[in-house]
Structure 1
Amino acid sequence: MPVNDDAYANGAHIPDGASYPARWARDASAFRNGLGARAQVGLCYGPSPRQTFDLFQPEGAPKGTLIFVHGGFWRLLSPSDWSHLAAGAVARGWTVALPGYELCPDVRIAGITRSIAQAVQVIAGRTTGPLALAGHSAGGHLVARMCSEGMLPVDVMARVGHVMPISPLSDLEPLLLTTMNDDFQMDAAMARAESPIHQPAPTCDVTVWVGGAERPAFLDQAQWLAQAWGCAHHVEPDKHHFDVVDPLGDADSVMLNRLLG
């Protein structure tokens, strides 16, 4: 077994971890169904069938747009697994967009980064007001990458009020020593180029968020990004990798208060 496989294995170290994907899918479907016409799914931002986003609208005029990017080690899952996490921001009067992306090994991580940048531009083009970016795990990596100079147009980046990488992968070089790299097909140069810790610190507000009960590797990854960027770093007690994102669904959570103001 490659040296870092267990370090980045989450489900095996979470009680009843295997049950979470089915729970997410069930809760996501219930949320979409309950929102009715205010839920638009499968909106295209690129030519691939996976280059789509789901859009959830609040009642009344939106205060802004939260873009949430899902995780899954760039290899798994889709926006339809996470719709329920839009509930909190929608209840606060925000539009929420969840973009999808092509997965490894069909594409490289750098290609996924470019896809998310394209998605953010398309979403920004059909919305008004401030933008907030949040992402979980691999999605945390992707929203952190959006902060790189030149990744987003200046006018789009100027609308971004807060970025929250949640349990992010900020240094990809340790992943070279996992079997997942059979799908990533990274070498050291590619891993370094895609690692947010090697980007200059952005000028927008950033909060790195992580669960206190996460695997040590994820606690390290979060700390490394916060140290590299000199940004806020929040460790949520008792939360593990699969439930650390749950507060996004709660309109009154500390997480959403921080992210949306």
Structure 2
Amino acid sequence: MDWDRAYANADFIPQGADYPARWQADAEAFRATARARLDLPYGEGARHRYDLFLPDGPPKGVVVFIHGGYWLAFGREIWSHLAAGPLAHGWAVALPSYTLAPDARISQMTQEIGAAITAIAAQVPGPIVLTGHSAGGHLTARMACADAPLAPDIAARILRAVPVSPLADLEQIALTGMNAKLRLVSAEVAAESPARLRRRAGQDVLVWVGGQERPAFLWQARLLSENWDCPWQVSAGHHHFDVIAPMTDATSPLTRALIG
């Protein structure tokens, strides 16, 4: 099995290489007009920062979006526009960055996201909705695990978690060329694969995935859904790079799934 091909996305999406520049432009345009508090710290590391977008009135709660990039690329800055949908319903939206590989292992990233959520929760009262895409979907699911690095009072505020196109089992990722930087070993695969861990008792989870995704991502989403006995939603017609685009639309099924 060619695992690098199985997890290659851009090669199978028309004009796939053009998406990052488009995301960057959309995010910059959104930040230019949004009510925001940018570059807030949640730790001492260079990437321990988050951006917080606020609605016009008191927020109903906060949606936390965790970016993807195979734990190797990107940051919060190119996803700002995804805040538009929840903001229109009166929810704040926070987007954290985290240390990328090879400077951090995935287990460290899990700890960092827990710290980010804790800092965000101190800034915005009320319920918390967690979501994230791809590697961010993995980290979203990790925050829904029973052993997530969250204090009980913070975990109790998490209304739901919606991992989008999550990497739920890391065994196959360890077989790709990416592992030269990720440095996954069997113990970390076991400890950091949400599909192998217990969901936090009572935690509402909805797994979301694009219908036109690579088979490996459809398998990952279905595996998490089956192992956690939680629903999964296949978003017809969407591939890995546009499956999160509906977050910009206040009326989209994805936005409504997030805020209920």
Instruction: State how far apart, in whole Å, the 2-side matches of 1:224 and 1:149 are.
Output: 18
Residues 130-171 of structure 1: per-residue CA shift (max 9 Å, x gap):
100000000000010011224211111111111000000000
On the 8 A contact 2:132/2:162 being kept in 1, the answer is: yes
2:72 pairs, out of 60, 65, 75, with 75
Matched residue type, 1:222: A
Map 1:143-154 → 2, pairs under 5 A: 143-151=140-148, 152-154=150-152
**Structure 1, gaps ≥5 residues long:** none
Instruction: State how far apart, in whole Å, the 1-side matches of 2:190 and 2:147 are.
Output: 18
On the 8 A contact 1:140/1:166 being kept in 2, the answer is: yes
Instruction: State how far apart, in whole Å, the 2-side matches of 1:252 and 1:3 are.
Output: 39
Instruction: State how far apart, in whole Å, the 1-side matches of 2:232 and 2:85 are.
Output: 22
Report whether the alignment pairs 1:60 with 2:57.
yes
Instruction: State how far apart, in whole Å, the 2-side matches of 1:258 and 1:173 are.
Output: 29
**Structure 2, gaps ≥5 residues long:** none
Matched residue type, 1:160: I
Residues 204-248 of structure 1: per-residue CA shift (max 9 Å, x gap):
211000000000000000000000000010001110000000111
Give me the TM-score of the superposition, normalised by structure 1: 0.97
Map 1:98-113 → 2, pairs under 5 A: 98-113=95-110
Map 1:188-203 → 2, pairs under 5 A: 188-202=186-200, 203=202
Secondary structure at the residue paired with 1:97?
Answer: strand
Instruction: State how far apart, in whole Å, the 2-side matches of 1:148 and 1:231 are.
Output: 13
RMSD: 0.9
On the 8 A contact 1:68/1:134 being kept in 2, the answer is: yes
Instruction: State how far apart, in whole Å, the 2-side matches of 1:164 and 1:65 are.
Output: 13
Map 1:1-261 → 2, pairs under 5 A: 3-35=2-34, 38-151=35-148, 152-202=150-200, 203-261=202-260
Matched residue type, 1:57: L
On the 8 A contact 1:85/1:246 being kept in 2, the answer is: yes
Instruction: State how far apart, in whole Å, the 2-side matches of 1:129 and 1:189 are.
Output: 36
On the 8 A contact 1:3/1:177 being kept in 2, the answer is: no
Secondary structure at the residue paired with 1:128?
Answer: coil
The Cα of 1:12 is off from its aligned counterpart by 0.7
Instruction: State how far apart, in whole Å, the 2-side matches of 1:150 and 1:142 are.
Output: 13
On the 8 A contact 1:24/1:82 being kept in 2, the answer is: yes
On the 8 A contact 1:201/1:228 being kept in 2, the answer is: no
Matched residue type, 1:102: T
Matched residue type, 1:21: P
On the 8 A contact 2:146/2:199 being kept in 1, the answer is: no
Matched residue type, 1:131: I
Instruction: State how far apart, in whole Å, the 2-side matches of 1:107 and 1:88 are.
Output: 32
Instruction: State how far apart, in whole Å, the 2-side matches of 1:148 and 1:240 are.
Output: 27
Instruction: State how far apart, in whole Å, the 2-side matches of 1:147 and 1:162 are.
Output: 9
Matched residue type, 1:53: Y
On the 8 A contact 1:138/1:169 being kept in 2, the answer is: yes
Instruction: State how far apart, in whole Å, the 1-side matches of 2:199 and 2:159 are.
Output: 15
Instruction: State how far apart, in whole Å, the 2-side matches of 1:259 and 1:87 are.
Output: 13
Matched residue type, 2:245: D
